[in-house]
């Protein structure tokens, strides 16, 4: 049996609502490890503690590193409340840590926490005994001010844990505590990152993507599904809706001047997302839009697009540079999928010179030639869900 200590950060700041946040975090942790052998999750004071079978340790750690709300995790050695057992575990953990990262050999420090006041030794004595053992066994010098390696010893009434590994977790708020949203997801680099950032601030999302066969192929669809799956590993997205867009896109293309086309498509996408918000009880739409990146992302056009819908539109990447977005995409594992060569929204439908500041009256006149509400309703009705 392996025990993993999970620490949460920002939730400490919460006042009267703290129990709501904590319950959500514990539920998300449970969901993350539920299918692992012998998984058990408990919430003692100030921590979430996960136990899994030893063979599932690596998998459990890699999943917990993706749970929003946690700031760090430590796989620990669970030992008897006995100083000899503690010292032996401290040596073993320190040796394992320097084997993983030889750089840690520079110096170490013992960091004891003794909340079990019945334990016969006091914190300082525990530190001396364990420090002595580690120093003798490994030859690593002690540095209490600026240690490379920190060996934690936690002696609580429930358990005694020793650890030397701290793996960072993403922080933020537990997915779901901020509410629900629809993520407009494409096969590009930006929208998956936007979905990840929204989840980091506690939004649970369902993704919506538009597919225009034959102008986009099956492989382009598979790419979006792969992106949604990657986001689901972060508990950022639970369902992907695939909406057929070809016929509506053709009609919109023919409805107005070609340079209005992109604004017309995006307004329709927002309308469809609106209907899905109603159906899935979502309070907002999340997009990967970025100020000034392309013609539809000017202030004027973002406004033109926004007013087509009823819901709040969130744009987590609004102020990001492309390099920042790309770096984050690499970190969260979506970049390599986004970089696959299958185009998601066929460039044929994009005019050579899209308007950067479309006049709303022109846009509305173009839309008046078709029944936009019905088009949106039909698309939403026929969208096919994939549970991730």
- Residues of span 328-347 touching other proteins by CB under 8 A: 341-343, 346-347
Alpha helices in the chain (DSSP H): 18-33, 57-64, 83-100, 123-138, 190-200, 218-232, 246-255, 261-280, 299-306, 322-332, 335-338, 360-367, 372-382
CB of residue 275 to other proteins, shortest distance in Å: 26
Residue 348 CA to residue 24 CA, distance in Å, equals: 45
Check if the beta carbon of residue 185 is closer than 8 Å to that of residue 240: yes
Q: In the complex, what is the shortest distance from the CB of residue 302 to other proteins, in angstroms, rounded to a whole number?
A: 22
CB nearer to other proteins: give 171 or 244: 244
281 binding other proteins? (CB under 8 A): no
353 is a site residue for other proteins (CB under 8 A) = yes
Residue pair 228/240 in contact (Cβ under 8 Å)? The answer is yes
- Shortest reach from residue 333's CB to other proteins, in Å: 20
Does 304 bind other proteins (CB under 8 A)? Our answer is: no
Return the closest-CA partner of residue 203 out of 185, 239, 178. Answer: 178
Q: Minimal distance in Å, beta carbon 257 to other proteins?
A: 8
- Examine residue 326 and tell whether it contacts other proteins (CB under 8 A): no
Taking CB under 8 A as the rule, does residue 244 contact other proteins? Answer: no
195-224: which residues touch other proteins (CB under 8 A)?
Answer: 213-218
Cα 143–chain centre separation: 36
When asked if residue 259 is in the footprint of other proteins (CB under 8 A), the reply is: yes
Residue 351 interacts with other proteins (CB under 8 A)?
A: yes
Candidates 59, 51, 63, 50; CA nearest to 6 is 50
Q: Is the dihedral of CA 73, 78, 83, 87 positive or negative?
A: negative
Are 259 and 362 spatial neighbours (Cβ–Cβ below 8 Å)? no
Residue 187 in contact with residue 115, Cβ under 8 Å?
no
Of the pair 59, 343, the CB lying nearest other proteins is at: 343
Candidate list 253, 318, 364, 377; residue touching other proteins; CB under 8 A: 253
* Size of the residue set binding other proteins (CB under 8 A): 21
Residue 123 CB, shortest distance to other proteins, in Å, is 59
Shortest Å distance, C-beta 340 to other proteins: 8
By CB under 8 A, name the binding residues for other proteins. Answer: 213-218, 250, 253-254, 258-259, 341-343, 346-349, 351-353
């Amino acid at each position: 049996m392996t025990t993993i200590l999970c620490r949460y950060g920002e939730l400490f700041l919460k006042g009267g609502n703290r129990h709501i946040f904590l319950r959500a975090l514990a539920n998300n942790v449970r969901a993350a490890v539920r299918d692992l052998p012998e998984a058990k999750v408990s919430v003692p004071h100030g921590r979430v503690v996960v136990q899994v079978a030893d063979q599932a340790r690596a998998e459990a750690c890699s999943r917990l590193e993706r749970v929003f709300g946690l700031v760090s995790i430590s796989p620990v050695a669970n030992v008897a409340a006995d100083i000899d057992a503690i010292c032996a575990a401290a040596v073993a953990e320190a040796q394992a840590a320097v084997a993983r990262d030889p750089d840690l050999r520079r110096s170490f420090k013992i960091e004891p926490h003794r909340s079990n006041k019945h334990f016969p030794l006091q914190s300082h004595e525990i530190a001396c005994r364990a420090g002595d053992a580690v120093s003798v066994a490994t030859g690593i010098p002690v540095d209490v001010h600026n240690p490379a390696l920190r060996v934690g010893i936690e002696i609580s009434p429930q358990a005694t844990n020793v650890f030397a590994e701290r793996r960072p977790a993403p922080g933020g708020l537990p997915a779901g505590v901020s509410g629900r949203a629809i993520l407009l997801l494409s096969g590009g680099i930006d929208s998956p990152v936007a979905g990840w950032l929204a989840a980091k601030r506690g939004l649970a999302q369902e993704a919506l993507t538009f597919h225009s066969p034959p102008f986009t192929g099956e492989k382009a669809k598979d790419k979006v599904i792969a992106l949604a799956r990657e986001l689901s590993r972060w508990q950022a997205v639970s369902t992907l809706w695939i909406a057929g867009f070809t016929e509506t896109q053709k009609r919109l293309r023919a409805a107005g001047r070609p340079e209005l086309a992109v604004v017309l498509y995006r307004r329709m996408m927002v309308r469809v997302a609106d209907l899905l918000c109603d159906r899935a009880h979502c309070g907002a739409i999340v997009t990967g839009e970025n100020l000034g990146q392309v013609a539809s992302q000017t202030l004027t056009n973002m406004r033109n697009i926004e007013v087509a819908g009823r819901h709040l539109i969130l744009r987590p990447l609004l102020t990001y540079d492309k390099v920042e977005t790309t770096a984050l995409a690499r970190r969260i594992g979506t970049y390599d999928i986004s970089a696959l060569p299958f185009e998601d929204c066929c460039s044929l439908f994009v005019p050579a010179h899209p308007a950067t500041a479309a006049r709303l009256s022109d846009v509305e006149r173009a839309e008046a030639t078709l029944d936009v509400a019905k088009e949106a309703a039909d698309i939403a009705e026929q969208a096919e869900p994939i549970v991730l």
